C-alpha cells in the first residue's frame, strides 16, 4: 500500500526548507520542464534558494520556455540542500545518473501524476487522476501562498497543454480547465504557446516525419498501429533524436486504432519504445512494465537491447494478452 502524504503535508515540508534542489525526469518533456521551471520561480518568490537540476541541457525543442537556460548540469554539490523535490517521476530510476546522490538529500519530496507510480522519497503527493504535474504545481503554489508570475504561468500552461494532448486526453478534467483559466488570466496567450509547442518543425524534421510515416503497419484489424525509425533514417535526412517528439500522435490519430507503438533506434544502440492507447481497451503501462518500463494507462514506454523486429513480435503478443484480460 502506497503512503501518499498529500498536498498539505508536502507544502509544510517545502515551506520549512531553505536550500532546495528541484529535479524532473530525464529527457524532460514539456510537463517535466515546465513544472520544474515554474516551481523554481514560485519557491524563489518565497525567498528560498533554488537550484534546478538536470542531467543534460534543455533540448532545442523546449528552449523557448522562459528560464530554461537556468538548468544546472553536474557536477552538483549535493550536500548543500535541505530539501530535494522530484517532479513528474513515476519511479526513482527516472531521476537518471545522479539518482543515488539526489535520494540522499533529507527530505526528498515527490510530486507526480503517473498511474503506475513506484513509491520513493520521504514525503509524497501523487495523484494519478491529474492530467499533468503542471496542474498540481499550480495548486501547490496556492497552498504555499507563492506568487505566480507571467513566466511561471507560461511554463505551467505549456506543461498542461502538452501533457493533456491539448486538453484531449481522458485525464483532462474540470480541474485542468480551472487551472488553465487562471493561467490565461495571468496573461498567457494559448495561441503563442501552441505555436511554440506544435508549429515548430524544421524542414529536416518534416522530412523525417515523412519517412517515419512510410513505415506504418497495422495489426489486429487496424486496432494496433506501429511506426519505427532507424539510425540510418535520422542520418539520411539530417535530423536528430529529439526531432521525433510527438510523432506517435500520427499513428494514434487513426480512427480504428486503440494502441499506437513507436520504436526508435537510439544513439546508445538500444531501441526505445513508446506506447499510446485510446479508450480502455489496453492499459499500456501494464504492457511496458512487462519489459521493465512504466508510465500511464494511456502513455508508457521502455527501452530494450534487441532488434526492432524482435521487440515488435514480443510486444504484439503482450498487447494481445493485456487486452484480453
Ligand atoms: Mn507529466
| Residue 299 alpha carbon to ligand 1 centre in Å | 10
pLDDT at 115: 82
The answer to whether the CB of 200 falls within 8 A of the CB of 181 is: no
| Residue 88 alpha carbon to ligand 1 centre in Å | 5
Number of alpha carbons in the 13 Å side-chain half-sphere of residue 105: 30
The answer to whether the CB of 87 falls within 8 A of the CB of 21 is: no
pLDDT at 148: 98
The bridge status of strand 224-229 relative to strand 217-219 is antiparallel
Terminal Cα distance for the chain, rounded: 23
| Residue 262 alpha carbon to ligand 1 centre in Å | 19
| Alpha-carbon dihedral 226, 232, 238, 243, rounded to 10 degrees | 30
Q: Residue 24: enclosing H or E segment and its boundaries?
A: strand 19-24
| Residue 130 alpha carbon to ligand 1 centre in Å | 9
Domain boundaries, the chain: 7-198, 203-324
| Residue 163 alpha carbon to ligand 1 centre in Å | 6
pLDDT at 2: 76
| Residue 201 alpha carbon to ligand 1 centre in Å | 23
Question: Which CATH number applies to 203-324?
Answer: 3.10.310.30
Query: How distant is the alpha carbon of residue 41 from its chain centre?
Result: 20
Consecutive sets of 10 residues in the chain, 325 residues long: mean pLDDT of each? 91 98 96 98 98 94 96 96 97 96 98 92 96 97 97 98 93 95 98 95 96 98 97 96 93 96 96 93 93 89 97 96 77
The per-residue DSSP string of 180-201 comes to HHHHHHTT--HHHHHHHHHS--
Domain 7-198 fold:
inorganic pyrophosphatase (n-terminal core) (3.90.1640)
| Residue 33 alpha carbon to ligand 1 centre in Å | 9
pTM, full prediction: 0.89
Number of alpha carbons in the 13 Å side-chain half-sphere of residue 26: 11
The bridge status of strand 259-265 relative to strand 271-277 is antiparallel
| Residue 257 alpha carbon to ligand 1 centre in Å | 23
The answer to whether the CB of 133 falls within 8 A of the CB of 35 is: yes
Phi, psi of 290 (to 5 degrees): -60, -25
The answer to whether the CB of 251 falls within 8 A of the CB of 227 is: yes
| Residue 206 alpha carbon to ligand 1 centre in Å | 26
| Residue 110 alpha carbon to ligand 1 centre in Å | 13
| Residue 172 alpha carbon to ligand 1 centre in Å | 12
List Cβ neighbours of 250 (8 Å cut-off, separation of 6 or more).
Answer: 209, 213, 216, 227
> Can you read off the three cell numbers belonging to residue 257?
486504432
Distance CA 86, CA 53 (A): 10
| Residue 167 alpha carbon to ligand 1 centre in Å | 13
3-state DSSP of 258-287: CEEEEEEECCCCCEEEEEEECCCCCCHHHH
Amino acid at each position: 500500500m502506497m503512503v501518499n502524504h498529500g498536498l498539505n503535508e508536502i507544502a509544510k515540508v517545502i515551506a520549512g526548507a531553505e536550500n532546495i534542489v528541484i529535479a524532473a525526469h530525464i529527457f524532460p518533456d514539456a510537463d517535466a520542464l515546465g513544472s520544474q521551471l515554474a516551481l523554481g520561480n514560485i519557491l524563489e518568490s518565497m525567498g528560498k534558494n533554488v537550484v534546478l537540476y538536470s542531467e543534460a541541457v534543455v533540448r532545442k525543442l523546449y528552449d523557448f520556455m522562459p528560464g530554461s537556460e537556468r538548468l544546472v548540469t553536474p557536477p552538483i554539490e549535493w550536500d548543500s540542500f535541505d530539501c530535494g523535490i522530484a517532479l513528474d517521476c513515476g519511479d526513482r530510476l527516472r531521476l537518471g545518473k545522479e539518482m543515488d546522490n539526489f535520494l540522499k538529500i533529507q527530505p526528498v519530496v515527490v510530486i507526480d501524476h503517473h498511474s503506475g507510480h513506484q513509491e520513493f522519497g520521504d514525503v509524497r503527493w501523487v495523484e494519478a487522476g491529474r492530467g499533468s504535474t503542471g496542474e498540481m504545481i499550480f495548486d501547490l503554489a496556492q497552498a504555499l501562498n507563492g506568487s505566480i508570475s507571467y513566466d511561471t504561468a507560461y511554463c505551467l500552461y505549456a506543461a498542461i497543454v502538452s501533457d493533456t494532448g491539448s486538453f484531449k486526453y481522458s485525464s483532462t478534467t474540470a480541474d485542468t480547465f480551472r487551472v488553465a483559466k487562471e493561467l490565461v488570466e495571468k496573461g498567457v496567450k494559448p495561441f503563442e504557446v501552441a505555436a511554440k509547442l506544435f508549429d515548430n518543425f524544421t524542414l529536416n524534421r518534416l522530412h523525417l516525419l515523412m519517412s517515419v510515416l512510410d513505415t506504418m503497419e497495422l495489426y489486429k484489424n487496424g486496432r494496433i498501429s506501429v511506426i519505427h525509425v532507424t539510425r540510418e533514417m535520422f542520418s539520411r535526412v539530417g535530423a536528430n533524436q529529439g526531432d521525433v517528439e510527438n510523432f506517435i500522435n500520427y499513428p494514434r490519430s487513426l480512427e480504428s486504432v486503440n494502441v499506437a507503438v513507436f520504436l526508435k533506434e537510439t544513439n546508445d544502440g538500444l531501441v526505445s519504445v513508446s506506447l499510446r492507447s485510446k479508450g480502455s481497451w489496453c492499459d499500456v503501462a501494464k504492457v511496458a512494465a512487462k519489459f521493465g518500463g512504466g508510465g500511464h494507462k494511456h502513455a508508457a514506454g521502455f527501452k530494450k537491447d534487441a532488434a526492432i523486429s524482435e521487440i515488435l513480435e514480443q510486444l504484439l503478443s503482450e498487447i494481445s494478452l493485456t487486452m484480453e484480460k
